[in-house]
Structure 1
């Protein structure tokens, strides 16, 4: 089978002027590090599930993305983290939401998937489960960064003056995700997020919802989404793409474009990465940019933040 790996670090990236070139370079380097982490597993014959977990963990550890360290603040100035993972071979899945102490939420989601039941744990139950399973836990402050503090202050001001709806996707949202196809032809997807800046306490988006922000099914596709989660839930984006492939016979590209077009009609900022059963990779988005990357069959990495895609060496 054709090995495949693609990642995203969220759509609605900042305008280029908002960060120094050194900061943009580091963000691209962190994308490349995530690709290397996942690709190393695939090339050694490892599973797609392990590959997407490794790639997402790398992005959770980076302050440049809204997941793990660097996650957005809720309205109370705390972090509530969501993540999920799905195995396309068995349709097994695990998800956690509203977690406050799990260093790498995707690993807790995977541990829950391997346990088999339940599929989704929330809040303190998710934190306690992770601790019981030996998944690293930290104080909530670990996830904080100065850039996210500024985002929170900006959104609170916007809320006061009534301009919250005008905030950019970069100010509000952000997610990380990965999709993969392994040597056995099995697919997997994983997604992790801190939600959106100044979100209500207890709000849960699409990232931990199987069929919405995360979906994988062998013979069809694996999808990880980013954008306004409430709409990804309403449109069941991941499952919708898989269904268009299965029932209408659309290609991966045609199916993803059809769903993206529908989201765009409602002016919903969105993006995703997806991999098909044949290893085809797509990474569409309708915002100014999307942190993204993929590895071609020859092991060459491609990473991008806005329009231009650059080569990032061998994985």
Structure 2
């Protein structure tokens, strides 16, 4: 073998060494799943400055009253604040009483959601928003974690408490979802007293419809910009999980539009040993992102805890699909997470020792981060 001879370009080796040294000195760029990079500031914002944290522990019941533009301290008077807190607390007390008396988690979430459906402040039942043709079409779902049984109704127009109709679908039929006139008829046959459309009417929701149609000035009503969808999650003494969600939908929505609230795996999900979750926000995006089922799967198959999984879906994934909102999620140990990508989310929880906590202003929590 002949010895290597000089090529006449002795500067090549030093130059290559210099380039290698320079490349190794460059800072690493954050990696984004699926290839490519993202700015460091965006990565830091998504991480929330550290691992997502749960809102509370030892929780047995939690409720939400909708995500959206938050109530603001500066323009929310004491009476309005009290009304929202009282509404959330009443729902928590109703569900907690069921659990305290030995009832199961399904009965607890139904009891809690019924209270919120009867409260005109929230967009579910009494106080539901109007469709584009000035009607009311309501959706709801319930899921039981022990066997993942579920029931839902969509587009009902004469059911005072759609969450109860959803439970009846789960327990008395072989189906998961009934819709429209047939769902109304089933609810009546099953013993739920029907109501007329004017039962759901409130002045605030009418004003919101007029504003959406451009016939009223855009004056801000306290609480009017929250979506108002309601939901509950519960953990009973047998470690059974359940979730329920109920809504009037979107103001000025097309007649026949169905959002995520009655869709199992989008607005509602429950599986024992894992999580119960109820969502609120831009329903189309929560359907496309399979929001609540994805939280469950990230926990079961991805090894995430409830705070990490809820944060991943609500803060990182859904905004990339073009929508914001929030979720309440409760695991089988009573750990509670309530992240939201919207400005605010009305929610509250009850602990095993009887403590009741409500959150109505953004500065009362950090979005679960």
Give TM-score scaled by structure 1 length: 0.91
Mapped contact 1:172–1:196 kept (Cα < 8 A): no
d(CA) in 1 for partners of 2:256 and 2:81? 32
Give the aligned length: 302
Matched, 1:200 2:257: no
Structure 1 residues 225-244: aligned runs within 5 Å? 225-244=279-298
Q: Comparing 70-79 with 300-309, which one deviates more in the overlay?
A: 300-309
Q: Which residue of 1 aligns with 2:110?
A: 53
Return the offset for 1:267: 4.8
Matched, 1:124 2:178: no
Q: Comparing 110-119 with 46-55, which one deviates more in the overlay?
A: 110-119
Q: Render the CA deviation track for 1:30-77: whole Å, top value 9, x for unaligned.
A: 110000000001112210000000000000000110000000100000
1:280 to 323, 335, 338: 335
SS in 2 for 1:76: coil
Who wins on radius of gyration, i.e. which is larger?
2
Unaligned runs of 5+ in 2: 1-57
Q: Which residue of 2 aligns with 1:66?
A: 123
Q: Render the CA deviation track for 1:207-248: whole Å, top value 9, x for unaligned.
A: 000011000011110110000000111011111000000101
Summarize the Cα distance change of 1:282–1:271 in structure 2 as closer, same or farther, 3 Å threshold. same
Q: Which residue of 1 aligns with 2:65?
A: 9
d(CA) in 1 for partners of 2:256 and 2:226? 16
d(CA) in 2 for partners of 1:305 and 1:108? 29
Mapped contact 1:14–1:170 kept (Cα < 8 A): no
Summarize the Cα distance change of 1:86–1:237 in structure 2 as closer, same or farther, 3 Å threshold. same
Mapped contact 2:59–2:349 kept (Cα < 8 A): no
Summarize the Cα distance change of 1:172–1:5 in structure 2 as closer, same or farther, 3 Å threshold. closer
SS in 2 for 1:294: strand
Q: Render the CA deviation track for 1:160-214: whole Å, top value 9, x for unaligned.
A: 99x9xxxxx9548331000001000010000000000000000000000001100
Unaligned runs of 5+ in 1: 164-168, 311-315
Q: Which residue of 2 aligns with 1:166?
A: none
Mapped contact 2:70–2:345 kept (Cα < 8 A): no
Matched, 1:307 2:362: yes
1:264 to 319, 332, 352: 319
Q: Comparing 13-22 with 279-288, which one deviates more in the overlay?
A: 13-22
Structure 1 residues 67-146: aligned runs within 5 Å? 67-146=124-203
Q: Which residue of 2 aligns with 1:151?
A: 208
d(CA) in 1 for partners of 2:322 and 2:298? 22
Structure 1 residues 288-303: aligned runs within 5 Å? 288-303=343-358
Higher strand share: 1
Mapped contact 1:10–1:226 kept (Cα < 8 A): yes
Q: Which residue of 2 aligns with 1:23?
A: 80
d(CA) in 2 for partners of 1:277 and 1:115? 27
d(CA) in 1 for partners of 2:168 and 2:77? 38
Q: Which residue of 2 aligns with 1:219?
A: 273
Mapped contact 2:163–2:246 kept (Cα < 8 A): yes
d(CA) in 2 for partners of 1:63 and 1:13? 18
SS in 1 for 2:280: strand
Mapped contact 2:63–2:233 kept (Cα < 8 A): yes
Summarize the Cα distance change of 1:241–1:202 in structure 2 as closer, same or farther, 3 Å threshold. same
Return the offset for 1:96: 0.2
d(CA) in 2 for partners of 1:4 and 1:225? 18
Mapped contact 2:69–2:226 kept (Cα < 8 A): no
Mapped contact 1:12–1:287 kept (Cα < 8 A): yes
Give TM-score scaled by structure 2 length: 0.78
